[in-house]
Amino acid sequence: MTSIYVVDDSAADRRLVGGLLEQQGEWAIEYASDGVEALALMEKELPDLVITDLQMPNMDGLQLVSAATERYPLVPVILITSKGSEEIAVEALKHGAASYVPKRVLADSLIETVENVLMLSTQKRSHARLLGCLVRSHYAFELVNDPMLIPSLVTYLQDESTRVGLCTESERIRIGVALDEALVNALVHGNLEIGSGLRDTDHKTYMQLVRERPTQPPYSTRRIYVEANLSPKEGAFLVRDEGCGFNPWGLPDPTDPANMEQVGGRGVMLMRTFMDEVHYNEHGNQVVMIKRPSAGEHSSSDDNGSSEDFDTSEND
């Protein structure tokens, strides 16, 4: 049976809202008199929906929306607003409220709003359950030399890594930084063959080459190949360019005081720090980066890892 929590400090309003809901006969209603009490109830058992008044002691409706949607993102919250609180309703929607119903149209609109929100919520939960069954996904991209594509691809792969349960928010950022570094290297140093030393010696020429070479042969026909195998146990990311490659083992240590003020040379260091494994091929034009969840982070799964699909044997 669908369960709904009604949160209001006014007993009369609780009865009003509860009465409207109980008329449907198919919903189990429970009551709380403020946000704190509602969260305590949610901790014991999650409802399918929360309907809350805006103004309450201890924890008001807006605070409840924020706290509940952060802790229980799959439980929708509907806010009941009084006259003159439209701006707060907008604020509540920004904080994650599923919808709001003005108190003056409660009798006419509450049931319809509840039904719509429950329907959407059911779809969302099914989708989340389905994704919970996802054990592995593979992605392959072929990019032209357009720097604008890099942030979009990084964000996409970060989202997918989060979706399969590979990473927390903090790990998501580390994956993003490492991917970004690998892609920028593939584009600028790989396909466009612009050496990082030029940034120190002639920044203007460096910028000019970055601007011009994507449209000039042979650079213009080169592509960046990106593949990712993602599972809750491991993310494997392959980035390959069509440039001449470089010697990743010959990079100067950017943290050596003698190199500290050189403009370039930190990308590979960040990749190596933020990923669990980084492997270059012998030509230095392909890198495979492996990311595993931190201890206790990933969900239990019998999934196989992902990195075995990418050849990481050449060098590391």
Partner 1 sequence: MSRTDTFEVEQDGDTLFVMPLRAISSLADESVRHEWERVLKQFDEAEVSNVVFDFEKTRYFGSSMLEAMLVLWKRVRGRDGSMALCNASHEGLEVLQLSKFDTLWPLCDSRQAALAAMHS
Interacting residues with partner 1 (CB under 8 A)? 147-148, 150-151, 154, 170, 173-174, 176-177, 180-181, 184, 187-188, 199, 203, 207, 210-211, 254-255, 257, 260-264, 266-267, 269-270, 273
- Report how far residue 133's alpha carbon sits from residue 178's, in angstroms, rounded to the nearest whole number: 27
Task: Report the nearest approach of partner 1 to the CB of residue 235 (Å).
Answer: 18
Q: Which is nearer to partner 1, 27 or 274 (CB)?
A: 274
Task: Report the nearest approach of partner 1 to the CB of residue 59 (Å).
Answer: 27
Q: Which is nearer to partner 1, 165 or 264 (CB)?
A: 264
Task: Report the nearest approach of partner 1 to the CB of residue 173 (Å).
Answer: 5
Question: Among residues 41, 61, 59, which one has the least CA distance to residue 103?
Answer: 61
Question: Among residues 246, 186, 237, which one has the least CA distance to residue 214?
Answer: 186
Q: In 3-state terms, what secondary structure has residue 140?
A: strand
Task: Report the nearest approach of partner 1 to the CB of residue 168 (Å).
Answer: 12
Q: Which is nearer to partner 1, 36 or 269 (CB)?
A: 269
Q: Which is nearer to partner 1, 44 or 211 (CB)?
A: 211
- Report how far residue 59's alpha carbon sits from residue 40's, in angstroms, rounded to the nearest whole number: 12
Cβ-contact 218, 197 below 8 angstroms: no
Which residue type occupies 310? F
Query: How many helices, marked H, and strands, marked E, lie in the chain?
Result: 10, 10
Cβ-contact 92, 61 below 8 angstroms: yes
- Report how far residue 82's alpha carbon sits from residue 54's, in angstroms, rounded to the nearest whole number: 8
Q: Look-up: residue for tokens 């049976």?
A: 1
Q: Which is nearer to partner 1, 57 or 252 (CB)?
A: 252
Task: Report the nearest approach of partner 1 to the CB of residue 105 (Å).
Answer: 39
Q: Which is nearer to partner 1, 254 or 305 (CB)?
A: 254
Task: Report the nearest approach of partner 1 to the CB of residue 201 (Å).
Answer: 12
